[in-house]
């Protein structure tokens, strides 16, 4: 058995596709579906539809009034590049050399250990994309921007709200000490959420969903206003309410489906982070909010033959459906290694940002 029989980019792509079908997807993929483009520049148009405008009256035999088009704002950014590698060393190859045929009982554990390395890279690429999306859907401090730390202490920052107009209308921070949601006797979370849904409705957006993590949602379990709303529904005194009961109150009183998102990841510094932060809720209209755009990586460019006179690379390269490029290279220097690299150029667009309303609850 040869190493490249079980460890090449086509095998990796097939393995990854099968593994992905068995896992729960990152939640925000649904709101920012993947799209692919050439190059590294991202251009997107943010338009505000608002409410429909009545047709103006006109005289017979008169020229019609020309209606101005809605304003559109063009945003252009250079998309960030991400790349990491993992190495199969000579000791790993010695383990593989022990395998005489595909029925050998040692084969699967060895191959699985190799693919674990690859999956760590591919998981990391998808985690990065989800982290970028989460910074838009739950903007910390009310600023929809993406910050990406680098190994050399540099920081990429992408500002999606230059001038702060979105924050003025689509973000609310509850500052009164008695109004914060950790004050169960005095806080009015249903009123706060209602303010958000009323604003979205005023600009022609039909709010359908509210997102938070469990830490924030649990603040509602002891809230007196929520309990009183439940009393009005059941006609009975309420001493204890659970998650499903609170969700039913929100459906009946506000017409919103509450989604909890508690998925976590490990950041570049080894710290555990939540994709969706504590103390925020996000109200959304229906439909997508933007796209997760992936550009053409240097690895992918080398697969395009004579494009820009770039020579074919002496490596095995496959681009997954998600847009992530996987490259495998055999090297002798003088030790022999097989290096697997995952790379992506990725940045989400945010065309639907006007249909998002965010509340910082405490």
Q: Model confidence over 190-237: pLDDT tens digits?
A: 999 999 999 999 999 999 999 999 999 999 988 999 888 877 655 566
Contact between residue 250 and residue 212 where contact means Cβ atoms under 8 Å apart: no
Residue 236's contacts (CB-CB under 8 Å, 6 or more residues apart) are none
Residue-range definition of the domain harbouring residue 326: 3-47+75-168+257-360
Q: Mind spelling out the 3-state secondary structure of the chain?
A: CCHHHHCCHHHHHHHHHHHHHCCCCCHHHCCCCEEECCCCEEEEEEECCCCCCCCCCCCCCCCCCCCCCCCEEEEEEECCEEEEEEEECHHHHHHHHCCCCCCCCCHHHHHHHHHHHHHHHHHHHHHHHHHHHHHHHCCHHHCCEEEEECCCCCEEEEECCCCCHHHHHHEEECCCCCCCCCCCCCCCHHHHHHHHHHHHHHCCCCEEEEEECHHHHHHHHHCHHHHHHHHHHHCCCCCCCCHHHHHHHHHHHHCCEEEECCCEEECCCCCEEECCCCCEEEEEECCCCCCEEECCCHHHHHHHCCHHHCCCCCCEEEECCCCCEEEEEEEECCCEEEEEEEEEEEEECCCCHHHEEEEECC
Q: Alpha-carbon distance 52 to 67, whole Å?
A: 13
Q: In b/e form, how buried is each residue of 308-341, taking b as 16+ CB within 10 angstroms?
A: eeeeeeebbbbbbebbbbbbbbeeeeeeeebebb
Q: Is residue 342 part of a domain?
A: yes
Contact between residue 125 and residue 344 where contact means Cβ atoms under 8 Å apart: yes
Q: Is residue 227 part of a domain?
A: no
Q: Can you give the pLDDT at residue 72?
A: 47
Q: Is residue 190 part of a domain?
A: no
Q: Is the pTM of this model over 0.85?
A: no
Q: How many CB atoms lie within 10 A of CB 36?
A: 15
Q: Can you give the pLDDT at residue 318?
A: 85
CATH number at 280 reads 3.15.30.10
CA distances from 201 to 20, 51, 170, 213, 286 (A): 37, 9, 12, 24, 12
Q: Is residue 152 part of a domain?
A: yes
Q: Is residue 55 part of a domain?
A: no
Q: Is residue 187 part of a domain?
A: no
Q: Model confidence over 72-92: pLDDT tens digits?
A: 455 566 778 888 888 877 777
Q: Alpha-carbon distance 130 to 170, whole Å?
A: 22
- Number of structural domains the chain divides into: 1
Q: Is residue 318 part of a domain?
A: yes
Q: Can you give the pLDDT at residue 109?
A: 64
Q: How many CB atoms lie within 10 A of CB 224?
A: 14
R_g (Cα) of the chain, nearest Å:
26
Q: Can you give the pLDDT at residue 188?
A: 96
Q: Mind spelling out the 3-state secondary structure of 51-102?
A: CCCCCCCCCCCCCCCCCCCCCEEEEEEECCEEEEEEEECHHHHHHHHCCCCC
Q: Can you give the pLDDT at residue 320?
A: 86
Q: Residue 143: which of 158, 153, 156, 127 has the closest Cα?
A: 158
Q: Is residue 136 part of a domain?
A: yes
Q: Can you give the pLDDT at residue 256?
A: 94
Average pLDDT, consecutive stretches of 10 residues, N- to C-terminus, the chain (362 residues): 61 67 76 81 56 56 56 62 84 65 59 70 91 94 86 74 91 93 95 96 94 95 87 62 83 91 88 94 93 88 63 74 85 78 90 95 94
Instruction: Look up residue 292 and give its two tokens.
Output: 């997760």
* Residue 164 zone, left/alpha/beta (φ > 0; ψ -120 to 50; rest): left
């Amino acid at each position: 058995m040869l190493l490249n029989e079980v460890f090449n980019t086509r095998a990796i792509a097939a393995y990854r596709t099968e593994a992905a079908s068995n896992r729960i997807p990152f939640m925000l993929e649904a709101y920012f579906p993947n799209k692919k483009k050439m190059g590294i520049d991202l251009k997107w148009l943010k338009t505000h539809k608002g409410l429909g405008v009545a047709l103006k009256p006109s005289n017979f035999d008169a020229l019609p009034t020309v209606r101005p088009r809605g304003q559109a704002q063009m945003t252009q950014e250079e998309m960030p590049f991400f790349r990491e590698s993992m190495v199969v060393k000579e000791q790993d190859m010695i383990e593989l050399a022990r395998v005489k045929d595909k029925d050998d009982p040692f084969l699967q554990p060895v191959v699985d250990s190799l693919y674990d390395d690859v999956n760590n890279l591919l998981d990391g690429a998808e985690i990065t994309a989800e982290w970028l999306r989460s910074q838009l859907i739950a903007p910390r401090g009310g600023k929809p921007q993406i910050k990406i730390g680098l190994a050399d202490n540099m920081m990429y920052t992408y500002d999606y709200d230059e001038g702060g107009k979105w924050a003025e209308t689509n973000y609310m921070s509850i500052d009164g000490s008695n109004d914060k949601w950790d004050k169960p006797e005095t806080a009015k979370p249903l009123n706060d959420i209602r303010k958000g849904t009323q604003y979205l409705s005023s600009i022609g957006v039909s709010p359908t969903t509210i997102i938070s993590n469990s830490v924030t949602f649990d603040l509602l379990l002891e809230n007196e206003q929520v309990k009183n709303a439940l009393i009005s529904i059941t006609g009975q005194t309420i001493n204890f309410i659970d998650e499903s009961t609170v969700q039913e109150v929100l459906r009946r009183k506000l017409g919103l489906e509450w989604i909890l998102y508690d998925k976590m990841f490990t950041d570049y510094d080894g710290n555990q982070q939540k994709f969706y932060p504590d103390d925020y809720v996000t109200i959304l209209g229906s439909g997508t909010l933007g796209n997760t755009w992936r550009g053409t990586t240097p690895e992918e460019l080398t697969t395009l033959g004579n494009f820009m006179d770039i020579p074919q690379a002496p490596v095995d390269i496959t681009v997954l459906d998600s847009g992530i490029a996987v490259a495998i290279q055999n090297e002798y220097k003088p030790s022999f290694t097989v290096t697997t690299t995952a790379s992506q150029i990725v940045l989400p667009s945010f065309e639907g940002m006007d249909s998002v309303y965010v509340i910082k609850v405490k």
